[in-house]
Structure 1
Amino acid sequence: MRAILPMQSRHSLELRQHQNLALTPQLQQSIRFLQLSAQDLEQEVAQALADNPLLEREGEYDADDSEARADTPSDEYVDDSPLTAGVSGAGRNDFDDDGGPDVGQAVTLRDHLLQQLHVTRAGKRDQALVEILIEELDENGLLAGSLDDVLGLLPDELAVDEDELLAALRLLQSFDPPGVGARSTAECLALQLRQRAAHDPDVMACAMALVTQHLDLLAQGNAARLVAALGCSPEVLRQAHQLILTLDPKPGRAWSQSVADYIVPELVVVRGKKGWEARLNGAAVPRLRVNPVYEQWVREDRSGADRSEIQAQLQQAHGLVKSVAQRFETVLRVGQFIVQHQQAFFDKGVQAMRPLVLRDIAEVLELHESTVSRTTRQKYMQTPWGVFELKYFLGTALGGEGLAPATSATAVRAMIRELVRAEPPAKPLSDAKIAEKLAEKGVDVARRTVAKYRELDGIDPASVRKARAGMSA
């Protein structure tokens, strides 16, 4: 069983003996369900249906026993839930006749890393911190933010310092695939090189210097300058370069590609009378209830089973139905807020994206920032522009001085990509020139910010783009 994280901090319950954080089983389940993707939740629901005879999908047996149920009370969580009203369909069921998962069997990078974590000798607290870091990885297996960003999500009472979090990161970076958990491309390649110690020491030292100090120079392909900078022979440089070419700057890419076809959006954006609106996708919502016949038997003590066991199953069934409803209610609330805030995006596209950070959502919805953070991960929204993860709509504010409105970082990145796409191949735009063109659009950003976003999107420097254009001419 994986470590479970609380709603306000998503930190391991195992920390409670140190911090006196006591959570009920019901709250534990609700927190864990909030972290799951739609596919993972469906697997949890299918397993619960197989284990608990009191739990069923709504409408599953209605045709056979509607008469027997005429005088039995319905489950309190189904009819009263605002989430189930107006949602059609009985929910997804991607399971075969043997009860096993179908497409849901694809192992994600998260699953792969958690399997390795759970066989380590790390303490419960360290395991909880590694789980938090795993949740912060992007689709390439790299750490999406800084350690300071992660620390900012942790409550002060847990007393986690940077050294402790760094130790957890080092543990994560020792896992397969090599390079996972890196904070930059340079660190990712360096981590992989350290696992190639069988190579010639001179070649290894040259390769390490290349990835940690001279990646830009290497991308330009200027061998003479590299030889001078590294003090190595051209042959050693050539071998070091060949070694680097065997490394993978995106170690988690294989896992993201293997599960990309199985994404099911939990929210659908439609145009309503007052603008764009977010609604739950009925195909992603498991419609569950407690079997009213069995429940009536339990209340009348006519079940013929051990009363303590059947009472526990009844409580578990009610708890699961409630946890599922609470999960989708939170996802819907956050999704509705995002859509309301980003109306311009749905009308005009990504370059109209407005700044939005976790704190903005948390304050209005009265949720903890970490709760919002978990809600925006692995939850997808179908829009007129495609299917996007909810966290895609988050972005810090850039510019905004004077009368110019602030612009989302996501929009700025889209503008940079568009400028590079439209540039003359023989005369590519420098970072400074891109910053000037953005300023003409009313977006005032520094050259170093342009460089940062260009690198995040995998766009080479102007010198490299020019050299590549010259080679292909």
Structure 2
Amino acid sequence: MAQRHVPYQGPSHRPMTTAHLAQTMTLLEMNNHELAEKIQRELDKNPALEMKEDYRCPTCGKRLINQVCPSCSIPPSMDQHSPIVFVSTRRTNSYSGSRSYTDDKDSFEDFSAEVEDLPFFVLNQIRTELEPDEQLIAASILTSLDDYGLCPTPSIELAVFHHVPLSKVEHVRSLIQKCDPLGVASESSQDALIIQAISLQERGDDIPPHTIEALEDGFDELSHKNHRALAKLIGITIKDAKKIIHFISENLNPFPAHAYWGTQWNQTDDKPFRYQDPDVIISYSKRDDEPQLMVEVLWPIYGNLKINPVFRKVISASEKDKSEKLNAEYQKANLLIKCLNQRNHTLVQLMQKLAKEQRDFILKGDKFMKPMTRASIAEDLNVHESTISRAVSSKSVQLPSGKIVPISQFFDRSLHIRTIIKEMIANETKPLSDTKITKKLKEKGFDIARRTVAKYRSMEAIPPTHLRKNKSKT
């Protein structure tokens, strides 16, 4: 009878020592970039360690065939819905973002390069209005944008740096602030909101009286939605103060980069999450016309960590005092190797579960995300919830579509509803208010509050009804 390879079952389930557990948890929390640096540091300082560059599986040690372990890559069952999960030595610069193992698609670098760049997008709107020296100032401002689309560098500092009058910098910043998205490159969220309110007023839109005054003089009160204090400060009724607060929350955006801009207005697909390299790659191959998910838990170095055989001989030949120090290095090296194996095993277990439970999400998109918690996965895998949290922390996965997302997205219980909201808005004939969206969701069986709808809409960087109405007219 032919002998069949049995999938590697990982480290034994004997209780770990405190040192073993502590180091495993530390390594588990690292992403591949951090782990590679950690391994290199250990190689540099511990003579007991060596890197063996061979074609062996970093988990079970068997020889690889086309970078795939013949043992670890065997599915746990013949069910095509069970993913094949294994530790892979694939080089990071070969990530293709292909939809399947055999497809020849564009690389992820090419795919992500198509994503619009906010500074470039804004500069193109005003390039023809700028003099050559003003273009340099604009470029300086736009390359200083933070993640929120703000430029906190004061204009006076920019003027000193470029050796130009303050008025010239303020002129350039003013031109930029009036670009799409409104308020971009403002020094603060307060400035961005004021620019947006003034722009709406100049367009002839109805905004509550004293809105700009409230933004200029009562920003703290607005931030805390303290309508009583705001009313007292600027001398209006509490009812009018509530109207101002409601208008600002519904129509203005304190973070311009989070608003829709450029071609994103009609975009229904997510932009790739901007990770340089994933920690896990999911692809698929076809078996009887059914996709078989292939999940690679990436090993960040090429080769395997080993105990240097010469080092063992040195220990044996050394005097007692010296051999004790050398033996301590040997024990540290041995512990590191064990902990790395345990880390790999935990990640393989986690991805086995996630890929099976979220198969439809992986293959079909956000709308098919199932509600899932770290606690439930921890219970299924018989580990502590903190272990799952560490395994998920700061790591990313490349989906078959080529999109790279944080692994934490597999536990995002709001993603399904947010996707439905995005579809509603993408297909609206006229802008739907948050109240109408709430009613439509209730009809679909989702009983959530209007403020939650507003929160989810904001998370997706979808502007409020008022701004969508303006965009649809242009």
Q: Which amino acid aligns with 2:355?
A: V
Ranked by relative contact order (alpha carbons within 8 Å, sequence separation 6 or more), the top structure is 2
Find the partner of 2:327 among 289, 293, 311.
311
Taking the aligned partners of 1:248 and 1:51, their CA distance within structure 2 comes to 47
Offset of residue 395 of structure 1: 3.2
Superposed displacement of residue 44, structure 1: 0.6
Question: How many angstroms apart in 1 are the aligned matches of 2:400 and 2:90?
Answer: 25
1:429 is paired with a residue whose SS is coil
State whether residues 439 and 445 of structure 1, in contact with CA within 8 Å, keep that contact through their aligned partners in structure 2: yes
- Going from structure 1 to structure 2, the CA distance change for 1:272 and 1:58 (only over 3 Å counts) comes to farther
Q: Contact between 2:367 and 2:420, CA under 8 Å: does it hold in 1? A: yes
Please tell me the residue identity of whatever aligns with 1:52.
N
Distance in 2, matches of 1:303 and 1:58, equals: 29
8 Å Cα contact 1:77/1:318 also seen in 2? no
Cα–Cα, structure 1 residues 246 and 372, in superposed 2: closer, same or farther, change >3 Å? closer
Please give the alpha-carbon distance, in whole angstroms, between the structure 2 residues aligned to 1:356 and 1:337.
11
Tell me the secondary structure at the aligned position of residue 319 of structure 1: helix
Q: Distance in 2 between matches of 1:366 and 1:140?
A: 39
1:432/1:303 CA distance change after superposition, 3 Å: farther
C-alpha contact 1:189 1:249 (8 A) present in aligned 2: no
Percent of pairs with identical residues: 25
The 3-state SS of whatever aligns with 1:213 is: coil
AA in 2 matched with 1:438:
L
TM-score (norm 1): 0.52
- 2:461 maps to 1:449: no
- Residue 208 of structure 1 corresponds to which residue in structure 2? 220
The yes-or-no answer on 1:57 pairing with 2:69 is no
What do the CA deviations read for 1:347-369 (whole angstroms, capped 9, x no partner)? 32111111111122011001111
Cα pair 1:358 1:394 within 8 Å, conserved: yes
Q: Which moved more, 1:375-384 or 1:446-455?
A: 446-455
Does structure 1 retain, via aligned residues, the 8 Å contact 2:90–2:299?
Answer: yes
Instruction: Verify: 1:329 aligned to 2:345, yes or no.
Output: yes
Structure 2 match to 1:79: 61
**1:328: Cα distance to partner?**
1.9
Q: Does 1:392 align with 2:386?
A: no
For residues 418-457 of structure 1, what are the structure 2 equivalents within 5 Å? 418-424=423-429, 427-457=430-460
Q: CA deviation at 1:31?
A: 1.2
User: SS of 1:306's equivalent?
Assistant: helix
CA distance in 2, matches of 1:440, 1:25: 54
Instruction: State the Cα deviation string for residues 46-92 of structure 1 (Å, max 9, x = none).
Output: 111111122122227x9xxxxxxxxxxx9x98638999757564877
Shift of 1:337: 0.6
In 1, the alpha carbon distance for the partners of 2:349 and 2:451 equals 36
CA distance in 1, matches of 2:235, 2:467: 16
Residue 415 (str. 1) matches residue 432 (str. 2): no
Q: What residue in structure 2 maps to residue 24 of structure 1? A: 18
1:356 to 360, 372, 379: 372
Change (3 A) 1:245 1:226: farther
* Counterpart-to-counterpart distance in 2, 1:245 and 1:444: 26
TM-score normalised by the chain length of structure 2: 0.52
* 1:261-300 to 2 correspondences below 5 Å: 262-271=276-285, 273=287, 276-282=292-298, 284=300, 287-298=303-314, 300=316
Letter in 2 for 1:390: I
Q: Is the 8 A contact 1:355 1:395 kept in 2?
A: yes
- Counterpart of 2:247 in structure 1 is none
**Residue among 349, 358, 363 paired with 1:342:** 358
Query: 5+ unaligned residues in a row in structure 2: which ranges?
Result: 1-15, 74-86, 94-145, 149-187, 191-213, 243-251, 259-272
Residues 242-287 of structure 1 deviation map (CA, whole Å, 9 limit, x = unaligned): xx9998998xxxxxxxx94533333434347585435334453564
Look up the SS of the partner of 2:397 in the other structure.
Answer: strand
C-alpha change, 1:357 and 1:282, in structure 2 (3 Å) is closer
Q: In structure 1, list runs of 5 or more residues that go unmatched.
A: 1-21, 63-73, 94-138, 142-187, 191-201, 232-243, 251-258, 397-408
- Please state how far the C-alpha of 1:433 moved relative to its aligned partner: 2.0
Which is further off, 347-356 or 36-45?
347-356
State how far apart, in whole Å, the 2-side matches of 1:339 and 1:90 are. 19
Name the aligned partner's letter for residue 415 of structure 2: T
Contact 2:283 2:294 in 1 (8 A): yes
**1:104 matched to which residue of 2?**
none
Is the 1:77–1:322 Cα contact (8 Å) retained in structure 2?
no
Read off the aligned partner of 2:410 and give its amino acid letter.
F
1:284/1:226 Cα in 2 relative to 1: closer, same or farther (>3 Å)? farther
Q: Please tell me whether the aligned partners of residues 88 and 298 of structure 2 are also in contact (alpha carbons under 8 angstroms).
A: yes
Partner of 2:81: none
User: Residue 218 of structure 2: SS of its match in structure 1?
Assistant: helix
Counterpart Cα distance in 2 of 1:55 and 1:332: 25
Whether the 8 Å CA contact 2:49–2:307 is kept in 1: the answer is yes
Residue in 1 that maps onto 2:468: 465
In structure 2, what is the Cα distance between the partners aligned to 1:428 and 1:228? 26
Corresponding residue for residue 196 of structure 2:
none
Structure 2 counterpart SS, 1:57: strand
Secondary structure, aligned partner of 1:381:
strand
Asked whether the 8 Å contact 1:35–1:375 carries over to 2, the reply is: yes
Alignment of 1:139-218 (within 5 A): 206-213=218-225
Question: Contact 2:31 / 2:279 at 8 angstroms: preserved in 1?
Answer: no
Query: Structure 1 pair 88/358, CA: closer, same or farther in 2 (3 Å)?
Result: closer
Q: Secondary structure at the match of 2:295?
A: strand
AA aligned to 1:45 is I
Relative to structure 2, which stretch is displaced further, 83-92 or 436-445? Answer: 83-92
Residues 316 and 323, structure 2, Cα contact 8 Å, conserved in 1: no
Q: Is the 8 A contact 2:279 2:297 kept in 1?
A: yes
Matched residue type, 2:35: L
C-alpha distance in structure 1 between counterparts of 2:275 and 2:439, whole Å = 40
The alignment yields a C-alpha RMSD, in angstroms, of 4.8
Alignment of 1:363-374 (within 5 A): 363-374=379-390
Residues 307, 334 of structure 2: 8 Å contact kept: no
Change (3 A) 1:284 1:340: same
SS of the aligned residue for 2:53 comes to: coil
The one-letter code sitting in structure 2 at the alignment partner of 1:461 is: P
Give yes or no for contact 1:78–1:289 (8 Å, CA) kept in 2: no
Given candidates 42, 47, 54, the residue that maps to 2:41 is 47
CA contact (8 A) 2:282 2:294 kept: yes
- Cα distance in 2, alignment partners of residues 266 and 315 from structure 1: 30
Deviation at 1:311, TM superposition (A): 0.7
Matched, 1:37 2:31: yes
Q: Give yes or no for contact 1:206–1:230 (8 Å, CA) kept in 2.
A: no
Cα distance in 2, alignment partners of residues 311 and 77 from structure 1:
25
